[in-house]
């Protein structure tokens, strides 16, 4: 049998490599803070406000209310829409990061859905009105209107995918995971789950792992526990990459 692949372990606290002899169990309170959710949300809202302002700029340019002479109307609209896209995406990433640091509670299903889909909602508001106005504007140049509409639709799709949280987590799920796992966990740079064992078979292709608390893993976007590690450690009541649908069904049944 081949020897396990040696991996570089990086601390979530310091970002520096942790040698095998330096690793030790620690209490959660000894870990570095995961971040300021409030600050991230403020930053996200500020960027979204700028994005909406840029959409208005694009609309005013389309209707001839703003006209800079340094370039054509079409280029001006495209620049405004691209900047709009950048602000929407960065704002959504900040908002998702905040949701992973301080998740919303599932007690109110609507608010939980709203909180986890704010980026997508803002995305729709930041582009759909422009598309509608561009399509209904009979005075604009046909070529300009057509290209601007296509650019806005493409930006809408890109921003929508980037803004959607494919791995949302609730306050209840975060707390359950933190209570069930009192040791450091591991996650890979591009993985979607965290692991309780650095030698987990699903990590065979990873050369570098980050080591930190469950709270740090969730804040970094790894919202589910590896199913293999959960089975090996006999951990129950925690969302894994295989039982998420089962847990949702159990929650629905309990409500009924």
Beta-strand ranges (E) seen in the chain are 8-11, 185-187, 193-194, 208-212, 224-225
Confidence band, pLDDT 50/70/90 cuts, at residue 256:
very low
Q: At what angle do helices 142-163 and 73-101 cross, to 10 degrees?
A: 10
CA 229, 233, 239, 245 torsion: positive or negative? positive
Comparing C-alpha atoms, which of 1, 2, 6 is closest to residue 199? 6
Enumerate residues 6+ apart whose C-beta is below 8 A from 16.
10
* Residue 73 clears pLDDT 80, i.e. is over it: yes
Rounded Cα–Cα distance for residues 234 and 225 (Å): 12
Q: What is the pLDDT of residue 199?
A: 87
Nearest-Å Rg of the Cα atoms of the chain is: 23
**In the prediction, which pLDDT does 247 show?**
42
Is residue 4 pLDDT above 80, yes or no?
A: no
* Domain edges within the chain: 8-25+183-255, 37-163
Average pLDDT over residues 23-27: 57
Span 104-113, average pLDDT: 93
Proportion of the chain above pLDDT 70, given as a percent: 87
Helix (H, G, I), strand (E, B) or coil at 212: strand
pTM for this model (two decimals): 0.83
Q: What is the DSSP string of 25-78?
A: ---GGGSPP---HHHHHHHHHHHHHHHHHHHHHHHHHHTTS---TTS-HHHHHH
Tokens (6 digits) for 1: 């049998």
């Amino acid at each position: 049998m081949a020897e396990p692949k040696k991996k570089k372990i990086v601390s979530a606290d310091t970002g520096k490599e942790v040698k095998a002899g330096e690793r030790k169990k620690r209490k959660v309170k000894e870990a570095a803070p995961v971040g300021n959710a409030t600050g991230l949300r403020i930053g996200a809202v500020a960027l979204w406000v700028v994005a909406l302002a840029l959409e208005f700029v694009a609309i005013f340019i389309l209707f001839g209310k703003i006209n800079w002479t340094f370039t054509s109307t079409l280029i001006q609209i495209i620049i405004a829409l691209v900047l709009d896209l950048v602000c929407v995406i960065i704002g959504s990433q900040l908002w998702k990061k905040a949701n992973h640091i301080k998740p919303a509670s599932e007690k109110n299903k609507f608010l939980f859905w709203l909180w986890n889909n704010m980026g997508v909602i803002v995305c729709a508001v930041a582009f759909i009105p422009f598309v509608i106005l561009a399509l209904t504007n009979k005075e604009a140049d046909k070529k300009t209107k057509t290209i601007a509409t296509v650019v806005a639709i493409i930006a809408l799709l890109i921003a929508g995918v980037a803004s959607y949280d494919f791995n949302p987590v609730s306050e209840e799920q975060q707390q359950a995971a933190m209570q069930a796992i009192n040791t450091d966990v591991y996650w890979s740079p591009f993985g979607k789950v965290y692991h309780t064992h650095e030698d987990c078979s699903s990590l065979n292709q990873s050369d570098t792992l980050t080591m930190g608390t469950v709270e740090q893993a969730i804040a970094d976007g790894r919202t589910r526990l590896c199913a293999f590690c959960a089975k090996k450690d006999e951990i129950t009541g925690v969302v894994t990459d295989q039982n998420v649908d089962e847990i949702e069904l159990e929650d629905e049944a309990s409500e009924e």
